[in-house]
């Protein structure tokens, strides 16, 4: 039948009927909160990410308690080391007494039920701001970088991390990390691979937050992160990481790559996550601060879009705010 017998607006008329046919629902179970942990005392605001702060470990524990109270299941830790400790090889990244191993131990001791995830990449720890070791020409060395990432992964696993999240995009690193974990007895340490990480222009505020922007300068990461024009390549990368032992995969950035998320979920049916990156967050915050957008409505709409595209969860700087909004209605 055609109009007027078919009126799709009938089901949109009232809140109860809209709720009855809602296809995708965002809950706090879908949220992972990225947190920057620094060596300094207290909190330090990230200028390009309003509402986001670098935290000392004691402040991190307060955020962990808040996350538990709000029902946010996982914190994802990113280290902000002392700039004076940075080296060309980023060796502080695998120091067992470095900022992230200490943060992991503190969180797991105080809140054993809280999921703790950590980043594996060298860019916050290197003097050049790249995710890997470099040769004399400035090229990022793949296999040598993997050796460093394995050391970093084992340091985090020894501290008690629940989920490793290698974000470097070196070829073969998932297999090497998985093999090292097995040999060391960390058989239940999960890996969420940044399997489709694009060389995106949306990462700027994050690089400022971890202190790598100045080190990177005018450099780029085109030789190891993916070309934003490609989606078939993402499926190839994800297939490789799953074969090597990844438990979960991630697409990064998020909103500009919803088509990739959908293809990944349809093709593999594995736990698939999206990262609503710093640039996406900063755009919403800036527009809201100018009165151009409703922050709550736009943030929740964007997060729901990830679910609609097929993501099982989202890493987002809105996580705590979104949990409050979902709780309070």
Catalytically active residues, by annotation: 197, 252
Q: Which ranges in the chain belong to alpha helices (H)?
A: 15-20, 57-70, 99-110, 142-159, 173-184, 204-210, 213-216, 232-244, 258-268, 278-289, 295-309, 319-328
d(CA 278, CA 106): 26
d(CA 140, CA 309): 33
Residue in the block written with tokens 């971890």? 210
> Would you give the distance in Å from CA 13 to the centre of its chain?
38
Structure tokens at 128: 């050049």
- Residue 160, burial from CB neighbour count under 10 angstroms (0-12, 13-18, 19+): middle
Helices 99-110 & 142-159 angle (0-180, nearest 10): 30
d(CA 166, CA 180): 14
d(CA 61, CA 105): 11
Task: Report, in this order, helix, strand and coil percent for the chain, each rounded to 5.
Answer: 45, 20, 35
Terminal-residue alpha carbon distance, the chain: 38
Q: Residue 255 CB: number of other CB atoms within 10 A? A: 19
What three-state secondary structure class fits 168? Answer: coil
DSSP 8-state assignment for residue 257 = G
> 284 and 297 in contact (C-beta within 8 Å)?
no
């Amino acid at each position: 039948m055609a109009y007027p017998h078919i009126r799709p607006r009938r089901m949109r008329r009232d809140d109860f009927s809209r709720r009855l046919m809602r296809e995708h629902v965002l809950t706090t179970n879908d949220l992972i909160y990225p947190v920057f942990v620094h060596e300094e005392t207290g909190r330090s605001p990230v200028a390009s990410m309003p509402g986001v702060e670098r935290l000392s470990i004691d402040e991190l524990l307060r955020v962990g308690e808040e996350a538990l109270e709000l029902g946010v299941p996982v914190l994802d830790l990113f280290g902000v080391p002392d700039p004076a400790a940075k080296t060309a090889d980023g060796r502080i990244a695998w120091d067992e007494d470095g900022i992230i191993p200490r943060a992991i131990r503190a969180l797991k001791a105080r809140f054993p039920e809280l999921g703790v995830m950590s980043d594996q990449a060298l860019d916050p720890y290197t003097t050049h701001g790249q995710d890997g070791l470099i040769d004399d020409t400035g090229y990022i060395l793949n296999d040598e970088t993997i050796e460093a990432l394995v050391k970093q992964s084992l340091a985090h696993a020894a501290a008690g991390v629940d989920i490793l999240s290698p974000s470097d995009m070196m070829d073969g690193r998932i297999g090497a990390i998985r093999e090292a974990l097995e040999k060391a007895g960390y058989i239940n340490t999960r890996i969420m691979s940044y399997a489709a990480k694009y060389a995106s222009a949306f990462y700027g505020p994050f690089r400022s937050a971890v202190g790598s922007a100045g080190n990177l300068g005018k450099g780029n990461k085109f030789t190891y992160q993916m070309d934003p024009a490609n989606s078939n390549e993402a499926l190839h990368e994800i297939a490789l990481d799953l074969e090597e032992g990844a438990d979960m995969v991630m697409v990064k950035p998020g909103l500009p790559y919803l088509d990739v998320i959908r293809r990944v979920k349809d093709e593999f049916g594995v736990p698939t996550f999206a990262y609503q990156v710093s640039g996406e967050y900063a755009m919403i915050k800036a527009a809201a601060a100018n009165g151009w957008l409703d922050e709550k409505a736009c943030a929740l709409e964007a997060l729901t879009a990830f679910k609609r595209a097929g993501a099982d969860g989202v890493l987002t700087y809105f996580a705590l705010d979104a949990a409050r909004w979902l709780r309070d209605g």
